[in-house]
């Protein structure tokens, strides 16, 4: 009875999800002077970003590195005084693909591809032919990344480079992924440019104004970023607080969380996956909810194997390697990263750690294998390439179920429809990694950039509303400002 009489708590913005997206949203909104409440279902913030020490080695249990390529990320590092703690990737330029059991180094340019042995003679001739002929798409071509790569650069290029590359980033096969959703700038140029050389030039021109790309991490790992933002947000964060329901109430929202407690918020923003977003907006944006429910998600697993340095015969000089789907149907390994080569400080003295990625849409069952079976399967596949003797000293297995949205064919249009649908619920915004570029994206850099963009939209929505004469808000049928997905 007493509980029912107690007035609900209130704030300007309720942020749902304490991964990097939600944290940056909360941080930016609080900096803009908003009263923020951030709800995180788990006991810790950071979502899939998690760095842990194991016997002196720093393990990134989720994302390994960030490709810094947006002014928003640089600004965030500056504001958090983290720039001095950044660690640039070392020997990351050398990247490999496993072909016929051997590692082949990926050439960094088109001339390199034509002159090196990365592609077979047939693959190089196909590449040459496609460079010289009109490669514009036909309306009947499937709009996937594999088709685009194959049409512009040849089938072998698509199988051996585009395929493993996209699996490494998007956790899905290139033939499942929509070019427009994954790489809108490339897709746009593909429609415009007659030749492959024109396509490459066009893409470079578009990327030109961006700041220099920098592959980086932080002292203490990527969790340092999460911890610093959480520090700044302080008491605005509620952990162990799963949001169970959102309803419209007056001019704002009623947010129900753990144990049926409620909060009133002027605006609500979701930084969670598509299925959870679908569930949460089912009362307030039913058509968006239905579209969100149709987004497929994949799981990824990370297996760390740490050896005494002398047990690994191969000199691990480079970023690591990716495994094409064509390599071996029974291989659960999607790719391998050599952490000590990229960030030497991550590795304990005298040891070598190998980070193995498993799962994705190629091997969803890998995530349901027990640790022992999964580790022995990975070890079997990487042993000869690395010339490993004996068993690892330490092993760590992390499974991230339903963690990566699949930008499959139709995704870009679906995201536009969702944005359109939620614009009919003023004050509601979404920022999960299921929102594809040009606004969103999966990588940490894209998450930060997108969170900045959405936070600005919410600030201006709440600012406009507070400037309007009382009684003219959307709740009484007045004009409303769109807060887009
Ligand atoms: C294994 C792996 C490796 C990756 N590697 C890289 C990499 O090297 N570089 C890179 O740039 N990107 C990488 N990525 C992608 C990138 O890490 C993610 O896209 C990004 O971190 C997602 O952040 P997020 O905040 O959007 O979501 P999440 O990290 O998933 O966070 C969502 C949060 O919301 C919470 N939540 C869910 N439902 C509720 C609810 N109802 N109420 C309250 N809280 C809720 C969850 O507990 C979670 O903490 C990787 C991803 C994975 C899984």
Q: What is the pLDDT of residues 94-149, one digit of tens each?
A: 999 999 999 999 998 889 999 999 999 999 999 999 988 889 999 899 999 999 99
What stretch(es) of the chain map to CATH 3.50.50.60?
2-48+222-295+408-476
- 384-396 pLDDT, tens per residue? 999 999 999 999 9
| Dist. CA 69–CA 77, nearest whole Å | 12
pLDDT category at 228 given cuts 50, 70, 90 is very high
Residue-level pLDDT at 210: 67
Closest CA to 46 of 55, 38, 37: 38
Q: What pLDDT is attached to residue 378? A: 97
Q: How confident is the model at residue 359, as a pLDDT?
A: 96
Residue given tokens 């592609």 in the structure block: 119
Atom of ligand 1 nearest to the CA of 403: 53
Bridge-based pairing of strands 36-39 and 9-16 is parallel
What average pLDDT does this structure show over 172-190?
Answer: 97
Return the pLDDT at 6. Answer: 53
Query: pLDDT value at position 4?
Result: 42
In angstroms, the CA 141 to CA 175 distance is 12
Tell how far the Cα of 413 is from the centroid of ligand 1, in angstroms.
23
Class of residue 10 by CB neighbours under 10 A (exposed 0-12, middle 13-18, buried 19+) = middle
DSSP code at position 344: G
Q: What is the DSSP letter of 303?
A: E
Q: What is the pTM of this model?
A: 0.94
Reported confidence tier of residue 329, pLDDT bands at 50, 70, 90: confident
CATH superfamily of 109-207: protoporphyrinogen ix oxidase, domain 3 (1.10.3110.10)
- For residue 156, the model assigns a pLDDT of 97
Cis (ω within 30 of 0) for the bond into 438? yes
Res 131: pLDDT: 87
Q: Is the pLDDT score of 484 beyond 70? A: no
Could you tell me if 166 and 179 are in contact, meaning their C-beta atoms sit under 8 angstroms apart?
no
Q: What is the largest CA-CA distance in the chain?
A: 79
Cα–ligand 1 centroid distance for 15 (angstroms): 15
Helix (H, G, I), strand (E, B) or coil at 247: strand
How do residues 267-276 score in pLDDT, each as one tens digit? 999 999 999 9
pLDDT the model gives residue 251:
86
Which residue owns the Cα nearest ligand 1 atom 25? 19
State whether the beta carbon of 300 lies less than 6 angstroms from ligand 1.
yes
Question: From the alpha carbon of 445, which atom of ligand 1 is closest?
Answer: 11
Give which of 425, 442, 443, 422 is closest to 251, Cα–Cα.
425
> In the structure, what pLDDT confidence band is assigned to residue 369 with cuts at 50, 70 and 90?
very high
- In the prediction, which pLDDT does 472 show? 39
User: Coil, helix or strand for 338?
Assistant: coil
Share of the chain above pLDDT 70, in %: 94
| Per-residue pLDDT at 5 | 44
Count other Cβ atoms within 10 Å, centred on residue 319.
26
As a whole number, mean pLDDT of residues 179-208 equals 91
Residue ranges, comma separated, of all CATH 1.10.3110.10 domains in the chain are: 109-207
Between 4-13, 200-209, 344-353, 359-368, the lowest mean confidence (pLDDT) is in 4-13
Q: What percent of the chain has pLDDT over 90?
A: 84
Q: How far apart are CA 375 and CA 238, in angstroms?
A: 36
pLDDT at residue 205, as a whole number = 87
DSSP state of 53: E
Looking at the CA of residue 433, tell me the nearest atom of ligand 1: 26
Closest CA to 274 of 246, 288, 295, 255: 295
Average per-residue pLDDT for the chain: 92
Q: Lowest mean pLDDT: which of 219-223, 238-242, 257-261, 339-343? A: 257-261
Q: Confirm or reject: Cβ of 40 under 6 Å from ligand 1.
A: yes
Q: How confident is the model at residue 259 (pLDDT cuts 50, 70, 90)?
A: confident
Q: What are φ and ψ of residue 327, in 5° steps?
A: -65, -50
Asked if the model's pLDDT at residue 474 lies above 70, the reply is no
Per-residue pLDDT at 469: 56
432 lines ligand 1 (CB under 6 A): yes
Residue 16: strand pairing partners:
39, 270
26-47 tens-digit pLDDT: 999 999 999 999 999 999 999 9
Using pLDDT thresholds of 50, 70 and 90, give the confidence band for residue 406: very high
d(CA 34, CA 181): 32
Among 339, 444, 445, name the best residue to mutate to test ligand 1's pocket (greatest count of ligand atoms within 8 A of Cβ). 444
Please work out whether the CB of residue 20 comes within 6 Å of at least one atom of ligand 1. Answer: yes
The CATH H-level (homologous superfamily) assignment of domain 2-48+222-295+408-476 is: FAD/NAD(P)-binding domain (3.50.50.60)
pLDDT at 471: 40
Q: Give the tens place of pLDDT for each residue, 439-453.
A: 999 999 999 999 999
Is residue 62 lining ligand 1, measured as CB closer than 6 Å? yes
Q: Is 292 in the pocket of ligand 1 (CB under 6 A)?
A: no
Choose between 251 and 29: higher pLDDT. Answer: 29
Q: Is 360 in the pocket of ligand 1 (CB under 6 A)?
A: no
């Amino acid at each position: 009875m007493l509980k029912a009489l107690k007035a609900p708590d209130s704030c300007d913005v309720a942020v749902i999800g304490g991964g990097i997206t939600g944290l940056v949203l909360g941080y930016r909104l609080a900096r803009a002077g908003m009263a923020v409440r951030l709800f995180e279902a788990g006991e810790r913030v950071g979502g899939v970003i998690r760095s842990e020490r194991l016997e002196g080695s720093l393990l990134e249990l989720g994302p390994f590195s960030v490709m810094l390529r947006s002014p928003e990320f640089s600004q965030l590092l500056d504001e958090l005084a983290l720039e001095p703690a950044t660690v640039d990737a070392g020997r990351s330029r050398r990247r490999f693909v496993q072909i016929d059991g051997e590692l082949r180094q990926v050439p960094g340019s088109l001339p390199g591809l034509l002159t090196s042995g990365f592609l077979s003679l047939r693959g190089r001739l196909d590449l040459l032919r496609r460079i010289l002929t009109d490669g514009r798409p036909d309306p009947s071509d499937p709009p996937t990344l594999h088709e685009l790569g194959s049409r512009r650069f040849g089938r072998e290029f698509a199988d051996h480079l585009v395929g493993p590359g996209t699996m490494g980033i998007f956790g899905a096969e290139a033939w499942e992924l929509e070019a427009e959703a994954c790489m809108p700038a490339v897709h746009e140029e593909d429609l415009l440019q007659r030749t492959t050389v024109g396509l490459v030039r066009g893409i470079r021109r578009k990327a030109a104004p961006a700041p220099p790309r920098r592959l980086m991490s932080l002292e203490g790992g990527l969790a340092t970023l999460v911890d610093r933002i959480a520090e700044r947000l302080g008491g605005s964060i509620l952990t162990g607080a799963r949001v169970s329901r959102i309803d419209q109430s007056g001019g704002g929202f009623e947010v129900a969380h753990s144990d049926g407690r409620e909060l009133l918020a002027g605006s609500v923003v979701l930084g969670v996956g598509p299925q959870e977003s679908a569930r949460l907006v089912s009362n307030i944006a039913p058509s968006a909810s239905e579209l969100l429910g149709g987004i497929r998600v994949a799981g990824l697993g990370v297996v760390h194997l740490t050896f005494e340095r002398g047990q690994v015969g191969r000199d691990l000089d480079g970023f690591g390697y990716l495994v094409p789907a064509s390599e071996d149907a029974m291989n659960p390994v999607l790719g391998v990263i050599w952490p000590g080569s990229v960030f030497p400080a991550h590795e304990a003295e005298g040891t070598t750690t190998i980070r193995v990625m498993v799962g994705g849409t190629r091997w969803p069952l890998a995530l349901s294998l027990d640790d022992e079976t999964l580790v022995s399967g990975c070890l079997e596949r990487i042993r000869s390439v690395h010339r490993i003797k004996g068993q690892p000293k330490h092993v760590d297995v992390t499974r991230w179920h339903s963690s990566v949205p699949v930008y499959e064919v139709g995704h870009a249009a679906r995201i536009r429809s969702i944005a359109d649908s939620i614009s009919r619920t003023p004050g509601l915004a979404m920022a999960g990694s299921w929102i594809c570029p040009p606004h969103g994206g999966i990588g940490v850099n894209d998450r930060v950039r997108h969170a900045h963009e959405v936070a600005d939209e919410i600030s201006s929505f709440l600012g406009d509303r507070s400037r309007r004469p009382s009684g003219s808000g959307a709740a009484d049928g007045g004009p409303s400002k769109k807060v887009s997905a």
